[in-house]
Amino acid sequence: MKLHEIYLTEAPIKRSPDSYDPDPNRVYHGSTTDTTPKYDYDPEEDYSPGKSLGPIPNIQSQTEVIQMPNGTMYLFYVEDRSAPMPRPTFLQRIADILGVGSKMPQTGPNKIKNIVGFLKLKPFEDGYKVSGVGLDSSIQGQGKAIKLYMAFTSWKNKPIYSDYTQTPSAIRMWDSIIKRYPDRVVAFDQSTNREMPLDKAGDMYQDEPEGFDDMSQMAATQTLSQTKLFKLLP
């Protein structure tokens, strides 16, 4: 029996805490910038920057939604400061003179607009699937990620599916959602495309399979595409 055939019914796969730790400002910059590469250009790929849809309704924190050409949605927490900008450094002044200042990131801890968190969602089935979550340490432990989940499902009236893999913080977050909203979370079996109550789904987590990172892309995709996911109902 092949490795990818052993782990077809349990998911998400638990990953180590340091396996995913993105910088929200870099993610924002990447989603709002033309990313056309100089080499390895794919004519079927749209490298255009995402379109801002404004803030998420019904959430008190300042947010901004960016929709990418492929339908991927980024939900950002924005820290907008009214303090004056710090004086530009010598290198920044040189960059402005050379006309490359606009290519530099316009957000960050030392900028007026600082991105302190994000939720990345990709179109999936009848809703969206989590593809990434990142929170600055200044807002961790405040339930901010959960608020993005709940505000988005209410706004779009679409379900959110969990990612194929889960870090410890993601596991804690889904456990918290289940405790707060037990009637709005079910299991989704990708192999049958059917929902089921969590108490009928069995163990929803598994340790990372030995050799998972060394699997071929095809084998890993097959493993992940036949697992069970959490589904947050609108």
Is the pLDDT confidence value at 209 over 50?
A: yes
State the burial class of residue 120 (Cβ atoms within 10 Å of its Cβ: 0-12, 13-18, 19+).
buried
Encoded tokens for 52: 């801002």
- How much is the pLDDT for 101? 46
pTM comes to: 0.75
Read off the pLDDT of residues 31-55 as tens digits, 9 standing for 90 and up: 999 888 888 888 888 889 999 999 9
In this structure, the dihedral spanned by the alpha carbons of residues 208, 210, 213 and 217, taken in order and rounded to 10 degrees, is -100
Q: What are phi and psi of 102, to 5 degrees?
A: -65, -20
pLDDT of 122 above 70 = yes
Q: Inform me whether the pLDDT recorded for 103 exceeds 90.
A: no
Q: What's the CA gap between 79 and 135, in Å, rounded?
A: 12
Q: Which range among 15-29, 98-112, 144-158 shows the weakest confidence by mean pLDDT?
A: 98-112
Q: What is the pLDDT of residues 22-35, one digit of tens each?
A: 889 999 999 999 88
In three-state secondary structure terms, 178 is helix
Q: How far apart are CA 211 and CA 101, in angstroms?
A: 44
pLDDT reported for residue 191: 83
- pLDDT confidence of 222, banded at 50, 70, 90? low
Both tokens of 15, joined, read 């990953």
Is residue 227 within 8 Å of 11, Cβ to Cβ? yes
